[in-house]
Amino acid sequence: MNNNLKTVILLGALSGLLLFIGKSIGGSQGLFIAFLFSLLMNGYAYFFSDKIVLRMYNAKPLDQQRYAGIYQMVAELCRTMNIPTPKLWIIDNPSANAFATGRNPSHASVAFTSSILQLLDERELRGVVAHELSHVKNRDTLISTIAVVIATTISYLAQMLQYSAMWQTNSQDGQRRSNPLSLLVLAIITPFIASLLQLAISRSREYMADETGAHVCHDPLALASALEKLHTHIAPAGTTTQATTSSLFIVHPFRTSTITEWFATHPPLRKRVERLRRMAQNKNI
């Protein structure tokens, strides 16, 4: 399934959730408002979703003098992949991670947390950069970033459902609303459904970016080593990383158990590392 079709399906499903929440909150009037809001948000997200995400993390341009080596590394890999050089950003965050965003290769950005630049050596960082540039080349960044914006909106609207469950019982047109218990259940399950929709497409994207990145840098073991390091340096709960943006990052930014990893937006890290090591053994690069 190509990314254009994935985008249509994902936006349609997430927008449908928005409409459903709107009807649950405000009846027929809420449905109409949610429909207009969905149209406006989809258009806005297409053009500005990357800026929204970067602003969420207070990203700053990566200093070109201090990090000249990274700029040179990115430019070299971009020439190899035949894509424009993206803008580079740094995020002050204790979690070692990175992500790419932007609606197409000509409007792409790659963001690094301050921790990842301290943790990885040059070879490992090159593997991470190749992975993120693969997302740009494969045009994964549009669908993932728009999904983040809509999922974040759904999360906020779910909070409104909780208030509706507490304070509203009848619609303005005199029709009975859903009972408070139903609204409370919806407030819990709608963000979960939004996360599952992100999960449905993000895992295959990560495997593809791992493989493409390993081919580009001709060093799958470098990326494997980087992933293992990043996995052991996941920041504790309560940091500034937001759950609705987790699908953007190269590794899942929260610790998962054997059960919860089934619902994570990333495939199990051990499987990603195993695939990269098999590539190295088979010299499939």
Q: What does each C-alpha distance from 37 to 45, 75, 146, 205, 257 come to in angstroms?
A: 12, 39, 15, 29, 37
**Cα separation of 106 and 62, whole Å?**
18
Selection from 169, 280, 161 nearest residue 222 by Cα = 280
Amino acid letter for position 12: G
Catalytic residue among 132, 228, 261, 274: 132
Q: Is 132 a catalytic residue?
A: yes
**Residue 221, amino acid:** L
Helix (H) or strand (E) holding 239: none
Instruction: Give the residue from 154, 180, 173 showing the smallest Cα distance to 34.
Output: 154
From CA 72, how far away is CA 67, in angstroms rounded? 9
Q: Sign of dihedral through CA atoms 246, 249, 254, 258? A: positive
The Cα 148–Cα 265 span in angstroms is: 11
Rounded-to-integer distance, Cα 144 and Cα 102, Å: 9
Question: Could you list the active site residues?
Answer: 132
